[in-house]
Every structure is written in structure tokens, then in C-alpha cells.
Chain A
Amino acid sequence: MTDACLTFRDLTLGYGSHPAVHHLNGVVKKGSLTAIVGANGSGKSTLMKGVVGVLKPMAGAATKAGDAQIAYLPQQSELDRTFPARVVDLVSLGLWPKRGLLGRFTPQDRGVVSRALAAVGLEGFDKRGIDTLSGGQLQRALFARVLVQDAEIILLDEPFNAIDAKTVIDLVALIKRWHGESRTVMVAVHDLDLVRAHFPETLLLARRPVSWGPTAETLKPENLLKARRFEEAWLDDAPWCETDEIGHVHGHASDHAHDHPSRVA
């Protein structure tokens, strides 16, 4: 396909010998806006880490088209809020892909940063210490950093957790703006109403892909039921998963990726 932005080929990601995302195949189209839906432990965060490259795949591959930059907002940020930095310092980290280690920040760069702060509703916050921000304000600042990164692919891992309704509306508007700019956006979300209202496509995960396509199709009751009945726990004595490809052998919690019913409760 010519307009593929991300391609998953038999992608298996996990921890130790246990897969958390199992044999994912498919294509994320360039400029698409996809919600990733699934229960806790269904592999949403793991998938994003795999795409960013923080986690190496156990088998298969996630390949991106060309040299597309990725902006990634993790769910469990390792951000140290006690570190003496101002909001503008945090948001300026987003200039890294453009300026790298030694590139000097230009007046235009500073303009980009202050416009990003304005876009997320944080005008006048640039000199504030990050330890004085509320949870929602910090999330807005992190969205501003994503804006500054100006990446073609944007991955947001549960960005609406513990965020008030007003802020969610603002952040969704930003996501739609990115979609309008034909960036490829994937967002892990729990609120199905939000998904139905704003996301054209949905990937439903339950450690393996349950369904992937237009949101209305994917979020049909039978798919949701299927997604709910998955085995969250690892089984230490699970048999090894033998795939056809030589050299891609690993353990997992069920008999085989494409043939799960024996394990489903």
C-alpha cells in the first residue's frame, strides 16, 4: 500500500518470554486518526512502546514509512517534577528533533514554543516552575511539547486520565487539528463515547488484535464482549508459541495466536 504510515508485520511485544501484544498484523494509514481501545493489561501501552522503539519486538516488526518522526506522550511519564525547570524549558525539549544536542535555539524556535503554549491555553505560564502546575496544566504543557515536536506520527497513551472535562475538550480539539494537518495520530482511550464521537478508526486490543477498522464496526457489542474475555494473567507453564517463520519462537499464554478459544474463559 502506498499510503501506509506504520506497518505491523506479525508484531509480538512483551516482557520476559510473555507476550503482551501478540501477532499484530496491519497497516496504519498516513493521516489516519485511530483510537486504541482495550481493558487494562490489553497491550495498549506496550504497542506504543514498540512503535517508538523503547521496547524491542520479540518477533515480527513495526516499520514506519520513510524517516517519519514520532512524538510520543507516555502514560507513565518518567518526568521528574521536582527538577528545577520552568514550563518553557519543558516545552522546549520538543525542539530536540530539530536542534539536537548542540543546535542553538533561534528566535523563531522561541516563537514556536510560545505559540504552542498559547495553543494549549497556557499563556503566561512560561516562567512558572513545573512543580507548581496542576495535573491538567502539566498535561497541557506536555501537549504543547508534542506540538513543538512537529512530528508526522503522534502517539498519545491515555492522555485523558484524571483530566477534567473542559481540558479534555481542549485536548481533543488539538488532536483533531493534528488530524486536519494529515498527521498520523494514535491515541489510547478508555472512554468509548469519546471514541465514537471523535475517532474515525479504532483498534480493539486484548493482548491480540480483536478488531481493527472503522470505529462503528470495531466497537460492535460482540467485539467488545470478545475483548473483555481475555486472559490478563501470564501463565508460567504456557506452551511455546511455534510460528511458521523460522527463528521467531517465544512463549505465550495460549495455544496459538490465531486459535485462542481453548484458553478463553
Chain B
Amino acid sequence: MLYDHLIAPFVEFGFMQRALAGSLMLSAGACPVGVFLMLRRMSLAGDAMAHAILPGAAAGFLLYGLEIVPMTIGGLIAGVIVALGAGAVSRFTIQKEDASMAAFYLISLALGVLIVSLRGSSVDLMHVLFGTVLALNDEALTLIATIAGTTLLLLAVFWRALVAECLDPLFLRSVSRLGTPVHFIFLGLVVLNLVGGFQALGTLLSVGLMMLPAAAARFWTSRVGPMCALAVAIGFASCIAGLLLSYHASLPSGPAIILSAGVVYLASILAGPRGVLRARVRHHRHRTA
């Protein structure tokens, strides 16, 4: 009974296995990146970047149709242009990064919608915006595996610098020149993981798998390492739950995965040790020191 509901769909159907493999690998890379985005107060920048990828993916789509490689490369280029452009504007003018990022991604999004509408129907646009985790082919899986591997490797190598850059950037600048490179490497990882996610979840929802587990994990622990591990675990659980939900209730898989993560987030707000209930509970007893 339990087997029928929870395990059989993944054993019996190849597309479910692929969807599971793809979304789990995606979580392994994207969730830790999301933790750092959140800790740097750039949660919404992730959202903006997700929109910014659209024209690149759309250009690839326009030229080559629904092919993963050109769309990914296009998305990567568009993401990097917007990240560098917004970063440069905030660095060399008085405008802050939130405003320049908003400006660049809005231009980018409009351009993307325009490009998609040049060729296709609204069905195509829906496909780019919302993805199809149930139709991942070998190419897409290889790509996602490469992205997840690269992300974990770079995070491991630059971990100490990334933590220092978040915790005390001025200190890092006084002992090392790594501050600026690390910032851009990190932005690169954000773009890379969003691009990796859009085939499975679409450009709009790929940021959900990045941010929601991270935001949920924040309520449970006060150390970065465990927070990343927990975010990945929440990501895994959301993917499994979302895919099963989509299988049994015939719901679209992308929203089902993200909504599962959303449920974990809402539950964490309520139940987490740093969440709203524990913070509200009056301590009737206190220690002597």
C-alpha cells in the first residue's frame, strides 16, 4: 500500500526516475546557493535573475526550437550580461544594486517575451516559463549533473571566502584580494543554477527551489554549514513529495514541487526553534545566569 503510493511510481516509470534524478541533483546545487543568497539579503535578486535569463533562452528557442543546449547557453549569456551590467552600474554610479538589477531584469524580461512571441504560440511561452520536469532527456540530465557538480566544487573551494565576504567584507578586503572575485563567482553560480533549473521547472519557478528550502532552513539552525545541509534535505523532500503529488493528483510537476517546499517553509515558520511560536512562548522559568 505504502509501496504503491510512494515507491512504485519511481520504480515503474522511466520519466519519473529521470524527473527524480534531475530535481534531486538540482536541489543539491541550488539549495546551498540559495542559503548564501538569503544570508546576503539578495533573495529577490535571485528572482530578478530568473527573469533575466528569459531572453537568452528565448533566443536559443527561436533559432533552434526546443533544444536544451542552445537555450541553456543563451540563458547563461543573458544572465551573465544582466548580473555584470547591474553590478557595474551599482559599482560605478550612485545607484544601488536593487534598482539597477530591477531595471536590467525588466528590460530583459520584456525582450524575452517579445522574442518568444516572434516565433511561437503561447504554449511555447508557457513551456519556457514553467518547464517540464517530466520530460527531461539525457542531455538535460547531463547538464544538470554538470551544473550541480560544478556548484558543489566551487562552493567547497571558496567556502571560507564566501563566509568571510558575508560576515565581514571589510575584514576580508584588509587581508585578501578575493572579495570581489568571490562575489562574481557567487553571482555566476546563481545564474548557472537558475539556468540548470529552467528546463525542469521553468525560468519563473527555478528560483523557488533555490530560495524556499533556504528560507525554511533559516528557522531551524544558526550555523551556515548545517543550514546548507538542511536546505538540501528540504529540497530533496520537496522534490519527492512534489513529484508524487503531481503523479497521483495529475497536477503539473513544477508547481507541485515548489508548493511542497512552500508547505515546509510555512511549517518552519510555525514550528522551527527560531520560528514564530517558540519566539512567542513566554519563558516562565529562567536560569540564574
Contacts and interface: CB of A to CB of B under 8 A. Distances in A.
Interface string B136-166: 0000000000000000000001101101101
Interface residues of A, number: 25
B170 interface: yes
B39 A83 contact: yes
A97 interface: yes
B170 A77 contact: yes
A93 B39 contact: no
Given A77-B168, A78-B170, A84 B175 contact: no
Contact of B175 (A74, A77, A80, A97): A97
A56 interface: no
B167 interface: yes
Contacts of A70: 174
B99 interface: no
Interface stretch (B17-25, B47-55, B219-227, B263-271): B219-227
Given A96-B164, A101-B157, A102-B157, A84 B170 contact: no
A54 interface: yes
Nearest to B171: A93
A165 B178 CA distance: 38
A90 B167 contact: yes
A52 interface: yes
A84 B222 CA distance: 5
Nearest to A53: B174
Given A72-B174, A101-B157, A101-B161, A78 B221 contact: no
Given A84-B222, A84-B227, A85-B163, A78 B168 contact: yes
Nearest to A105: B160
A69 B247 CA distance: 61
A79 interface: yes
A86 B221 CA distance: 12
B174 A54 contact: yes
Contacts of B169: 78
Nearest to A81: B167
Interface string B50-74: 0000000000000000000000000
Contacts of B161: 101
Contacts of A93: 164, 167-168, 171
A42 B39 CA distance: 35
B176 interface: yes
A71 to B, nearest CB: 8
B173 interface: yes
Contacts of A77: 168, 170-171
A67 B285 CA distance: 56
Contacts, number: 67
A129 interface: yes
A79 B167 contact: yes
A129 B170 CA distance: 20
A101 B158 contact: yes
B223 A84 contact: yes
A80 B168 contact: yes
A129 B168 contact: no
B170 A74 contact: yes
Contacts of B175: 96-97, 149
Interface in B155-205: 157-158, 160-161, 163-164, 166-176, 178
Nearest to B225: A84
B90 to A, nearest CB: 16
B174 A83 contact: no
Contacts of A83: 39, 166-167, 224
B86 to A, nearest CB: 21
Nearest to B167: A83
Contacts of A85: 163, 167, 223-224
Contacts of B222: 84, 129
Nearest to A129: B222
Of B175, B218, B221, chain A has the most CB atoms within 10 Å of the CB of B175
Given A84-B223, A101-B161, A102-B157, A54 B167 contact: no
Contacts of B176: 96, 100-101
Contacts of B227: 84
A72 B39 CA distance: 25
Interface in A25-82: 52-54, 70, 72, 74, 77-80
A83 B167 CA distance: 6
17 contacts: A54-B170, A54-B173, A77-B171, A78-B169, A78-B170, A79-B171, A80-B167, A83-B167, A85-B223, A85-B224, A89-B163, A90-B167, A96-B164, A101-B157, A101-B160, A102-B160, A149-B175
Given A52-B174, A84-B223, 16 more contacts: A70-B174, A72-B174, A74-B174, A77-B170, A78-B168, A80-B166, A84-B39, A84-B221, A84-B222, A85-B167, A85-B224, A86-B223, A90-B168, A93-B171, A96-B176, A101-B161
